[in-house]
Structure 1
Amino acid sequence: MELSGKRILLIISGGIAAYKSLDLIRRLRERGASVRPIMTKAAQEFITPLAVGALSASHVYIDLFSREDEQDVGHIRLARDNDLVIVAPASADLMAKMAHGLADDLASAVLLATDRPVLVAPAMNPKMWAASATRRNVETLKADGIHFIGPMAGEMAESNESGTGRIAEPLEIVVAAVQLLDGAPKPLAGKKVIVTSGPTHEPIDPVRYIANRSSGRQGHAIAAALAKLGADVTLVSGPVTIPDPMAVETVHVERAEEMLEAVISRLPVDIAVMVAAVADWRVASSAGQKIKKQPGEAPPPLLLTENPDILKTVGHHEKRPKLVIGFAAETQDVEKNGRAKLERKGADLIVANDVSPETGIMGGTRNRVKIISAKGVDEWPELDKDEVAERLAALISSKLG
């Protein structure tokens, strides 16, 4: 993973995540890149130009109207004299300026003037990230060709705050930068994709739930593989213990109804890959308090009701994606059940596998799948789940021409 000789313009905006830009500078320089930093006024409230300059071994640019820096129209030179512009952290304010073409400080003027690739690493409170104005701005920037890494889910700097809004880790930003600069073809560039992954947890009471053994590894790997081919990927993930994939927007949900809502709200897209092992049933009415065991009494009955069928809903939706792919986790009659699911759910492809306990597939790191379509069945050998993801991403690319 080398950046030897690459010139990176790093724009640091305001927010507590600005401190991570110091580590990002170090990681970029370790890989041979030169880093020229710009700091907004707000960024200087969190870290100092002295620290940024020491780590980057470069002059730190802070003022649009600097007599010294602007003698040769410095902001235009900064905008063009680089291979990549990274905005990390990118605040909601700076992204709003980018989306609306404002240029009232050095950072926004450079971003408006640049003709180089721009990689944005957002960082903000989850409520700010979810706000309608921010969502509109993000969609505008993506349509303009701006690349995103993150934000990620987790604990915020504010006490008792958690959700999606954390800046991607420095090494994740470096990986995304390498992918942008490696010159590899991006056959899915401009395509919007939604992927579901992991299990769902259907509550019985506040401490118990109905679930399955899905780890989310296959779905997460597919999301990452599609992003690597240039797709704009949203991953809707049930509860998992693995990290969010890089260069992917991840939405975390618990229940099947939440997953359906997250998927439908993001249509239309070009491709839908429904990998999640969604619980077929939920408790009709979950208890508000923990159900206590009573000595001498039989366990209370659980009345179950059917969960929404997310794949079938997408496969027959008025905003149906051009390509709909479902997964069929079976323990018997894999091909027969996969064919029936293909027709019943309105999918273009079904990726079917045997998840019997002895296979070790559900929750494991390897997979053996059959690709079922109206034209027939293609059986793949046992592969690492990352390899399955890469092959499926290549197949999706070929399907879209």
Structure 2
Amino acid sequence: MLANKHILLIIGGGIAAYKSLDLIRKFRERGTKVTAVLTKAGSEFVTPLSVSALTGEKVFEDLFNLTDEAEMGHIELSRAADLIVVAPATADLMSKMANGGANDLASTVLLATDKRVLIAPSMNVRMWTHAATQRNLATLQSDEILAVGPKEGDMACGEYGPGRMAEPLEIVAAAEAALGDGPLKGRCAIVTSGPTHEPIDPVRYIANRSSGAQGTAIARALMSLGADVTFVTGPASHPVPSGVNVVPVQTASEMLAAVEDALPADVAIFAAAVADWHVANAGDSKIKKDGKGLPSIELAENPDILAIVSQLKKNRPELVIGFAAETDDVIENATSKRKRKACDWILANDVSPETGIMGGSENAVTLIHNSGADVWPRMTKDQVATRLAHAIVDHLGATE
């Protein structure tokens, strides 16, 4: 979808600017023309020569450069591209965008454009969570500025939290979604993700180690292909994807209700690690140790969301996909689960502790369907998501 498209990349000042070089490379690999505007602060982190070498184009830096204005004025620069991407989008650039500032080439281009704008915020966690930045973000969102990220993680300054710029492939996916009439345009998808928290009392709960990373990657991959995605997520540690309809839930019952509210849909992917049981006698107040022995906890089965949706008589999605996280006899157990639940596909993965998959960045899955099983090599969760999304395109296209 990015082939023969033209992207204007504005590189702000921040340590994440080094990722902009890889981002240019990723765009060029897809046949995209990239023209870059490098801010003065951005040039402290990457050089005009390195940017120009990767784009194969002249780099624009100065609003008052007479030669640049004669060759391609800032008005033409702001409108010649199909999409403007700001990466990294610093707190300063976001403030200028939200408040109409135009005192350098980057901010002037952004104010003069009539094209869609995608920002990839990057800054210190305290700057990101500051009320002023959040007000600016709300203004930009109301102005229909698109955003991808930021992610949570370690900062160059030594702090930890949200503020890391999205990875280049995430930005590419967001750009594809912004530009494309992808093969899933007009299709509706539901993706569940993360764990559920089943309360024992107001303080404690039953949960698992799911990070939500795989579900997030799947939602992002479907969105990049044009799908309208409803993302139903438990309290995951992984940041939610941008550009999808996020429905946060806590319990399995809440997740089922959210999925039912999102129907009808063309495809439903159940990547969430839903707790099998909830506490039937959950306390209304914190359970105290009273010296009389262990408290009695009664467990009851949670609703089987995958089975319920798979067996719907009305509003059943055309394609229902489940996950089978197993520690023993992975293929056999997953094959049995697919038949028992009546879903179309099951992605089986070995989550034994030694694999490091649960909560990790990679996955190794086997796609089980009516005709057999396709073993996929171990790859990143983003790569799994991309492969699954294209398999969905092939299936839905074949059944139209």
The alignment status of 1:313 with 2:344, answered yes or no, reads no
The aligned residue for residue 219 of structure 2 is: 223
Provide the residue aligned with 2:130 in structure 1: none
Contact 1:149 1:247 in 2 (8 A): yes
Q: Residue 288 and residue 152 in structure 1: after superposition, are their counterparts in 2 closer, same or farther (change >3 A)?
A: farther
Residues 281, 380 of structure 1: CA spacing in aligned structure 2 closer, same or farther, 3 A cutoff?
A: same
SS at 1:52's partner residue? coil
Note the 1:135-150 alignment, pairs <5 A: none
Choose from 329, 345, 360 the match for 1:333: 329
Partner of 2:349: 353
Q: In structure 2, do the counterparts of structure 1 residues 57 and 357 end up closer, same or farther at CA, with 3 Å as the change threshold?
A: closer
- The residue matched to 1:362 in structure 2 has which SS? coil
Partner secondary structure for residue 200 of structure 2: strand
Q: For residues 209-258 of structure 1, give each alpha carbon's deviation from its aligned partner in whole angstroms, at most 9, with x where no partner exists.
A: 11111111111111111112221112111111111123322222111111
1:171–1:52 distance in 2 versus 1, CA, 3 Å: farther
Give the direction of change, closer, same or farther, for the CA distance of 1:170–1:394 in structure 2 (3 Å limit).
closer
Q: Which residue of 1 aligns with 2:275?
A: 279
- Quote the Cα distance in structure 2 between the aligned partners of 1:277 and 1:170: 25
Unaligned runs of 5+ in 1: 9-20, 38-43, 63-77, 89-121, 135-145, 155-168
Aligned residue among 359, 367, 374 for 1:378: 374
Work out whether 1:397 is the aligned partner of 2:381: no
| Length-normalised TM-score, structure 2 | 0.62
Secondary structure, in 3 states, of the residue corresponding to 1:301? Answer: coil
Q: 1:60 to 1:236 in 2, by over 3 A?
A: closer
1:293 counterpart SS class: coil
Check whether the contact 1:233–1:249 (CA below 8 A) recurs between aligned residues: yes
**Contact conserved, 2:118 with 2:175, CA < 8 A, in 1?**
no
Contact in 2 for aligned 1:2/1:178 (Cα 8 Å)? no
Letter in 1 for 2:102: V
**CA positional deviation for 1:55:** 5.5
CA distance in 2, matches of 1:4, 1:338: 42
Task: Please show how residues 2-401 of structure 1 align to structure 2 within 5 Å.
Answer: 6=7, 29-30=37-38, 34-35=77-78, 48-49=99-100, 51-52=101-102, 54=104, 56=106, 58=108, 84-86=115-117, 178-179=175-176, 186-295=182-291, 297-317=292-312, 318-401=314-397
Deviation at 1:336, TM superposition (A): 2.1
Give the direction of change, closer, same or farther, for the CA distance of 1:170–1:55 in structure 2 (3 Å limit). Answer: farther
Q: Secondary structure at the match of 1:214?
A: coil
For residue 262 of structure 2, give the secondary structure of its aligned residue in structure 1. coil
- Deviations 1:155-187, CA, capped at 9 Å, x for gaps: xxxxxxxxxxxxxx899997566325777x722
Secondary structure of 1:194 counterpart = strand
Letter in 2 for 1:391: R
> What secondary structure does 1:399 align onto?
helix
Return the TM-score normalized by structure 1: 0.62
User: Aligned partners of 2:358, 2:99: CA distance in 1, in Å?
Assistant: 49
> Letter of the aligned partner of 1:307 in structure 2?
N
Percent of pairs identical after alignment? 46
Q: Any conservation in 2 of the 1:222–1:393 contact (CA below 8 Å)?
A: yes
Partner in structure 1 of residue 43 of structure 2: none
Letter of the structure 2 residue corresponding to residue 179 of structure 1: E
1-side partners of 2:111 and 2:377: how far apart?
A: 54
Distance 1:56 1:339 in 2: 54
What one-letter code is carried by the residue in structure 1 that aligns with 2:293? A
Contact 1:221 1:385 in 2 (8 A): yes
Flag the 1:6–1:152 CA change in 2: closer, same or farther, 3 A: closer
CA deviation after TM superposition for structure 1 residue 29, in Å: 3.9
1:258–1:151 CA distance, 2 compared to 1 (3 A): farther
Structure 2 counterpart SS, 1:193: strand
After superposition, the Cα gap between the structure-2 partners of 1:148 and 1:5, relative to the gap in structure 1 and judged at 3 Å, is closer
Provide closer, same or farther for how the CA distance between residues 6 and 382 of structure 1 changes in structure 2, counting only shifts above 3 A: closer
Distance in structure 2 (CA, Å) of the matches to 1:186 and 1:319: 24
CA distance in 1, matches of 2:151, 2:360: 24
Shift of the 400–4 alpha-carbon distance from structure 1 to 2, 3 Å rule, reads closer
In structure 2, what residue type is equivalent to 1:231? Answer: A
Partners of 1:147 and 1:60 lie apart in 2 by 11
Query: What RMSD in Å do the two structures reach over aligned CA positions?
Result: 4.3
Please say if residues 201 and 209 of structure 1, whose CA atoms lie closer than 8 Å, have aligned partners that are also in contact: yes
- What per-residue deviation string (whole Å, max 9, x for no partner) do you get for residues 176-209 of structure 1? 66325777x7221221111011110101011111
In 2, the alpha carbon distance for the partners of 1:220 and 1:54 equals: 36
One-letter amino acid matched to 2:336: A
2:91 aligns with none
Change (3 A) 1:388 1:7: closer
How many positions carry a matched residue from both structures?
300
For the 8 Å contact 1:3–1:178, the answer to whether it is kept is no
Matching residue's letter, 1:316: Q
Distance 1:384 1:257 in 2: 31
Aligned partners of 1:249, 1:152: CA distance in 2, in Å? Answer: 17
Contact 2:323 2:346 in 1 (8 A): yes
**Distance verdict in 2 for CA 1:48–1:29, change over 3 Å:** same
- The answer to whether the Cα contact below 8 Å between 1:149 and 1:176 also exists between their aligned partners in 2 is no
Deviations 1:17-72 (A, max 9, x none): xxxx9x9xx998449794479xxxxxx9x9654x235464649989xxxxxxxxxx
